Amino acid sequence: MGKDPNTIPNIIISRLPLYYQHLKNLQNSDKEYISSEELAELTGFSSSLIRKDLNHFGTFGRKSYGYDVYCLFQQINIIMGFNYKKKVIIIGAGHLGQALAYNKGYTERGYQLISIFDKNPKLIDLVINDIEIKSINNLEKFIENNRVDAAALTVPGAAAQKLTDRLVEAGIKAIWDFTEVPLKVPDDVLLQEQLINEGLCKLSIKMNQLRNNGSKELKDLKCQQK
Amino acid sequence: MGKDPNTIPNIIISRLPLYYQHLKNLQNSDKEYISSEELAELTGFSSSLIRKDLNHFGTFGRKSYGYDVYCLFQQINIIMGFNYKKKVIIIGAGHLGQALAYNKGYTERGYQLISIFDKNPKLIDLVINDIEIKSINNLEKFIENNRVDAAALTVPGAAAQKLTDRLVEAGIKAIWDFTEVPLKVPDDVLLQEQLINEGLCKLSIKMNQLRNNGSKELKDLKCQQK
DNA sequence: TAGATTGTTAATCGATTAACAATC
DNA sequence: TAGATTGTTAATCGATTAACAATC
């Protein structure tokens, strides 16, 4: 699977969202062409790496000009599958689930948010950003009657595996997981973790390094017990 | 800087949040020891890599037993700087900012959320999770009177750079950035991107690969124009 | 034409894995 | 003791960078 020559290497996949982000932002500029060197400046990756990443998918550049900003963005959209329409639902209408209902990121990435589910009777029938919160009791029926390509999971950790099982059982093949608990899914189901607090972790680590002046103190730690 | 032998390699930093997550979840189990092989099962990293990562910081294991689940968690907390207290504010009380006000991830990571700011008069004085939304006009005064270690930025892209400049000017050294626009900060300010839609991107790429049966069609793309 | 910048190969660098002695 | 599992070295693997011919 990882050896299929047609599979995109994970290391490239990890950089694609950032390429997308910058090329999207460049669409509003008056820039027609951008060089790999300028993209390097923006993304922090080396120009050489960028040229190599792009050449994995095809030939996009124009020698001595660079890359056509509009065209490259179109190609990145194709590579990321954004021109393919996907329907998504949100499971859990708590604070995070509601915020995700207002997220502006779906459409440009080819997603359409079609429903939100919760078990709390006080939330059911509430309308969030034009989308009515439905009872979780109706989840299976809804999936049966509507093509649903992906589900965002924003429920408390304790409920997460049970709801995952229901989603899988109902035929969902892609889960965007915001819970911070380990979930089990069959091999044919895509499980994408979104560690909402990852940035908080990394900032803490880096602040700590600065405090320690190069984390000298993080060198010979020990577990005390025998 | 990257060559300082006391600096934690970025590649290890990138794995630490996941180690933390799993060790935290293990605290509630009755497991006393965990082997690198079991951690490999949980995290998806190889046991060899895990042992090597941990040995970067010290000696935590017990031969033939594995790692003490409680003690290793304590050490990871130290490594990540979570036992050091940090005060954080949120800039932007929109849907995402409000959801972040309810985020349960601060305390366990050593953060304390102390204030939220917005420019919308309708939001000012509103209380979210016991925290009063303050006018952005009072930002500088607040930072002057309170130690603030980090700021979460959840404002519209158009306002992002201006507010970043104000935060930097006021002395903030760490920014947790949820905007999807490129921000400029001085070298001594930590800027941590949190691409909220990254998971949506990766799911789309992977769904697309499956559709294309190994993305054969993503091999010889071209920009049409001459 | 001279200058710029790509696409791509070869060289380098660094990260991961395999293996195993040490030892609990 | 026999079995398990660490810590660590050496070997391998893969990713990044340097370099440059091609060419716009």
Contact A82 B57 (CB under 8 A): no
Identify whether the C-beta of residue A110 lies closer than 8 Å to the C-beta of residue A76. no
Q: What's the confidence (pLDDT) of residue B3?
A: 46
Task: Inform me whether the pLDDT recorded for B22 exceeds 80.
Answer: yes
Instruction: Give the mean model confidence (pLDDT) for residues A23-43.
Output: 96
Q: What's the confidence (pLDDT) of residue A3?
A: 46
Instruction: Give the mean model confidence (pLDDT) for residues A93-97.
Output: 98
Identify nearest nucleotide to residue A48 by CA to C1′ distance: D17
Identify whether the C-beta of residue A10 lies closer than 8 Å to the C-beta of residue B202. no
Task: Inform me whether the pLDDT recorded for A107 exceeds 70.
Answer: yes
Chain B partners within 8 Å of A182 (Cβ): 22, 25, 42
> Counting every residue, how long is chain B?
226
pTM: 0.94
Task: State the greatest distance between any 2 C-alpha atoms of chain A, in Å, as a whole number.
Answer: 65
Q: Each residue of B48-74: pLDDT tens digit?
A: 999 999 999 999 999 999 999 999 999
Per-residue CA distances from A175 to A158, A219, B76, B103, B195 (Å):
17, 38, 28, 21, 17
Write the residue in A102, A180, A210 that is nearest to B95 by C-beta.
Answer: A102
Q: Is the CB of A52 under 7 A from strand C?
A: yes
Q: What's the confidence (pLDDT) of residue B5?
A: 59
Q: What's the confidence (pLDDT) of residue B44?
A: 96
Chain B partners within 8 Å of A98 (Cβ): 95, 99
Contact B57 A218 (CB under 8 A): yes
Identify whether the C-beta of residue B172 lies closer than 8 Å to the C-beta of residue B151. yes
> Which residues are A131's β-sheet partners?
A128
Contact A205 B13 (CB under 8 A): yes
Radius of gyration of the CA atoms of chain B, in A: 22
Q: Each residue of B81-131: pLDDT tens digit?
A: 999 999 999 999 999 999 999 999 999 999 999 999 999 999 999 999 999
Instruction: With cut-offs at 50, 70 and 90, classify the pLDDT of residue B1.
Output: very low
Q: What's the confidence (pLDDT) of residue A112?
A: 98
Task: Inform me whether the pLDDT recorded for A225 exceeds 60.
Answer: no
| Nearest residue to A44 via CA among B112, B10, B161, B45 | B10
Taking CA atoms, what residue in A is nearest to B21?
A: A180
Q: Each residue of B40-55: pLDDT tens digit?
A: 999 999 999 999 999 9
- Give B2's Cβ-side CA count (13 Å radius): 3
Instruction: Give the mean model confidence (pLDDT) for residues A15-26.
Output: 97
User: Strand, helix or coil at B166?
Assistant: helix
Which of A42-51, A86-95, B177-186, B210-219 shows the lowest per-residue confidence on average (mean pLDDT)? B210-219
Find the residue closest to D24 using CA and C1' atoms.
Answer: A63
Q: What is the mean pLDDT of chain A?
A: 94
Q: What's the confidence (pLDDT) of residue A1?
A: 37
Instruction: With cut-offs at 50, 70 and 90, classify the pLDDT of residue B226.
Output: very low
Size of interface A-B (CB pairs under 8 A): 260
Question: When comparing pLDDT for A33 and B4, which is higher?
Answer: A33
Instruction: With cut-offs at 50, 70 and 90, classify the pLDDT of residue B27.
Output: very high
Q: What's the confidence (pLDDT) of residue A89?
A: 98
Q: What's the confidence (pLDDT) of residue A215?
A: 60
Bases of chain D below 7 A from a protein C-beta are: 3-9, 14-19, 22-24
Bases of chain C below 7 A from a protein C-beta are: 3-9, 14-19, 22-24
Q: Each residue of A129-147: pLDDT tens digit?
A: 999 999 999 999 999 999 9
Taking residue B220's Cβ as centre, other Cβ atoms within 10 Å add up to 9
A71's CB contacts (< 8 A; 6+ apart) are: A60, B223, B224, B225
Q: What's the confidence (pLDDT) of residue A217?
A: 76
Q: Each residue of B134-160: pLDDT tens digit?
A: 999 999 999 999 999 999 999 999 999
User: Strand, helix or coil at B98?
Assistant: helix
Instruction: Give the mean model confidence (pLDDT) for residues A60-76.
Output: 97
Per-residue CA distances from B226 to A54, A60, A63, B221, B222 (Å):
18, 11, 11, 14, 11
Task: Inform me whether the pLDDT recorded for B206 exceeds 90.
Answer: yes
Instruction: With cut-offs at 50, 70 and 90, classify the pLDDT of residue A2.
Output: very low
Contact B4 A214 (CB under 8 A): yes
